[in-house]
Every structure is written in C-alpha cells, then in structure tokens.
Amino acid sequence: MASAFGWFGPLIDLSRASSHIGDFVQLLVFVHRSFPVQCKSSKRDITRTDIEVGDDTTPYFLVSLWQKNMASMVAAGDVVLLQNFKIAKYGDAVEARTVQWSSLISLVHPHHSLLSKAVEELVTGCRVGATTKDKLRRVIKWVQQSRSTICNIKLQSNQTQQIEHLARNWTVLEEERPRDCFSLIEVSQLTTTCKAVVCASIGEIVPLHSSRTLGDTKNEKIFISKRVYRTKDGNLVDDLICTGCQLCGSPLDSKFEQSAVPLICWKSSTRLHSICSIYRPFMLYLWDESDYMPVLVKNRIAEILFGNIKAGKVYSAYKEETHSQNLGPRNECKDKDTRERTVINPRSSSEGLPSANTSEVDKDLQSEDKHLPDKFNFYRVWVILLKMLLKQGKNSPLKFEINVDPSLDIESGKFEMVSAKMPCFGTK
Ligand SMILES: [Zn+2]
C-alpha cells in the first residue's frame, strides 16, 4: 500500500524529526486531535487543518495538512501513515507539513478498536511492509499503555460526531481483570504490572524490618513456623504486631522503621496515617510444585489471613494476659501450652479442643467462664490460627490474588498479596 508517487525518504520516529529538516519522510503516528486553522493570504482566506500527533518516541508533534481532502480522512484516535511529508522548522518548533505529492493512509480506525483489540490483530489487518508493521506495533502498544493520558485530551475537531466519546476530562478507572496463572513460576516471570491469581500453599512467615530479628537467621528466629510451637516465646507478638498505619500498613514503632515510612498516606483521603496496632509487614513464603515465592503481606491483608482478627485485639488480649500473670501466684503458669488450652472453653467450642486436667486449669476455667463471651481471648485464637496456617505441607492450597510490580524489589512489594480465598474446584 505505497503512495501513488512512491516513498521519498525514510520512515522515521518523531524523535528523529529535527535531524531531517527540509527532508521528505514517512511518519506513522497516532492522532490526538485535529483542528481547522484560518490562514490569511493576500488573495483569499484558506483553511488548513492541523493535527496533533504522537508516537512511541515523542508524545506530541504538530502536522499541517494543506489539502482539504486529506483533512476529511483523518479523525482523532486514528493511527495514520503520513507519506512524503516535509519536515520544517518555524522558530524553535519542528513540524511536518504536506506537499503536493503527500498522502495519508488511515491504518487503524476508529479509536475504539485500537483500545479493545490485541496488537497483533490490528497489525495483521494492515497491508504494509515489515518495517511499517514493526513501527505500527510500537505505536499501538504505546497508545494502549498510555491510554489514560491520551483519552483525556480535549478534542476540537470538526468531526465531533465520530469522536464525541473521547472528549472526557476525567480518567475512567477500569477494574483490571487479574490474570489466571497455573503456577508460581508463571507469576514470577510476569514482566508487566498486573494482578495475578494463583493457587499455592503457605510455607513460612518472615517478619520484615524487625530490629530484633535482623541477623537472627542462624537462630532461626526469623522463621515464625519454628517459633509458634515454642511454649516460651514471648516475643512472637512483638515481632508480628507493632504500632503503625492501619490503612497503608507502614510500621512506625522504631527509629529504624520511622526513617523508611512515607510522610503521606496514599490509602487515606486526608493523606494522614491512621495510627494503631497493626500487623507488621511480613513476607509470606508460598510454594507449589514449580517454585517458591516470597509475597509481601501488609496489615489489612494479614487480617484476612488471621480470620479477620485485628492486630489491636490480639495485642490487647496478649497484654492483658501477661499483666494478669504478673499480678499473683494464682495466675502464674509457666507452661504456655497448658494455658492455651484452657482459654477456649471446650464446652462452648464445637472444635472440642482437649482440656488439661490440673486443678490450676479448673480454676482458670471457672474464672474465664464469668467473662465469656466478651472476654474472648483473641491472642490465643490468633496463635492457633498461626499454627494452623504454618502446618507446612498439611494444608490444601489457597487461591491468592497477587499484585505484581516488576519495577520494585521483593521486600518493597514486587509481589504483594491482595486477597486469599479457599479455592473452589469444579467437579467436571
Ligand atoms: Zn498510612
């Protein structure tokens, strides 16, 4: 599909235009908008049409169309091939303009198909050479990637009927459909920012930025699964719960962390952090047969994992318990595991957790009875949930939705958990 006159000059990127001043070139561009311009000459008034165009190398560039028939062929949102256009410089501005043997071919039209169709589908339909196809591919990808900016441009074309739907001055937030991935290795190989859904098992929980746990890899203190079964690990709560913003999940409890906390909260309309007890950000190690993957989990999502129990409830129950232990010998009980079994009353629990037989336990049970259900010990329930989650290899996989941002490193949220669900497998 060449021009009737053939090609004078090469197909160039818009970024190269300034080095072709005075030359004839071919341009493959996206049309942002077109608008008529009145020009006064000594003999008569002429109307030319200017089009604002862009490509993957230069977002905005001006082209003047001096031929009336050509102006009627172009609409905002099209991808066009401008053949035999002359590059000119007026003052500091470089632009392209038509000459007698210039021509214009609309390659993608109308605008809607450009956003809804796949790149290859659009390229295959165009009868142009390989170099042109390659450039077309790049321009379409650029339009699709920067569509929110491009669609905001106010249009002033005389072809308003065709392009009315484009004249928006707000960004339409489209709910991005998450990608279904078959395995963790498929998620790890994603190169674009997106959401992915994958089934995987929980392997380990490692808290982030805990001053206590830094450098403790040898002692295995960073691995929660190793600690959750220990009866005398008083630091478990402090390592997994801290003070911070419940909205964005940023911790604020130590000098080390404060320096890394953003001043503005992007999850709040007031831009202020909402401070309370939160789950400290942690890495959740997921695994399947293909790979293992550390996924960042922040406060809100940690609540989902821990049965919708807020960190504040766990923390206050824990503090209350340690406080009452310090009050007198009656409440003193060295074996945490024994105490744990007494807190959830087996009589009121359908789970039928085993109870201990010591007289101390009976006393505890009686005192707990008076307070139930408002004295429900969220700390103990939370510990049980942690133990259940970390029964490595014994749980069925969960369905995770993961935010993928390849530009970040792992600890900053290259993979960040969005939700976790019990998968529902069909029986077909
Ligand atoms: Zn915040």
**pLDDT tens, position by position, 193-227:** 999 999 999 988 988 865 554 455 555 567 788 78
pLDDT at residue 98, rounded to an integer: 92
266 Cα–ligand 1 center, Å: 7
| Count of residues making up the chain | 428
Give the lowest-confidence range in 165-174, 290-299, 378-387: 165-174
Mean pLDDT estimate for the chain? 77
Give percent of the chain above pLDDT 70.
71
For residue 348, the one-letter residue type is S
196 Cα–ligand 1 center, Å: 25
Rounded CA-CA distance 407/213 in Å is: 27
R_g over Cα of the chain? 32
261 Cα–ligand 1 center, Å: 9
Average pLDDT over residues 223-239: 77
Per-domain residue ranges of the chain: 11-166, 184-421
Top pLDDT among 342 and 301 is at: 301
Strand 241-245 versus strand 275-279 pairing type: antiparallel
Average pLDDT over residues 349-376: 47
Q: What is the DSSP string of 38-106?
A: EEE-SS-EEEEEEEEEE-SS-S-EEEEE--HHHHTT--TT-EEEEEEEEEEEETTEEEEE--TT-EEEE
pLDDT in tens, 401-411: 999 999 998 88
275 Cα–ligand 1 center, Å: 8
Cα→Cα distances 80→73, 106, 177, Å: 10, 4, 30
pLDDT at residue 359, rounded to an integer: 44
pLDDT at residue 411, rounded to an integer: 86
308 Cα–ligand 1 center, Å: 19
262 Cα–ligand 1 center, Å: 8
306 Cα–ligand 1 center, Å: 21
CATH number of this structure's domain 11-166: 2.40.50.140
For residue 178, the one-letter residue type is P
31 Cα–ligand 1 center, Å: 41
Question: How many degrees, rounded to 5, is the angle at CA 48 between CA 43 and CA 51?
Answer: 160
pLDDT in tens, 62-102: 999 988 888 888 888 889 999 999 999 888 889 999 998 89
Top pLDDT among 426 and 114 is at: 114
pLDDT at residue 121, rounded to an integer: 82
386 Cα–ligand 1 center, Å: 25
Give the lowest-confidence range in 2-11, 137-146, 266-275, 309-318: 2-11
Task: Give the alpha-carbon dihedral of 411, 415, 418, 423, to 10 degrees.
Answer: -130
Top pLDDT among 174 and 269 is at: 269
Strand 11-12 versus strand 24-40 pairing type: parallel
DSSP state letter for 17: G
pLDDT at residue 424, rounded to an integer: 66
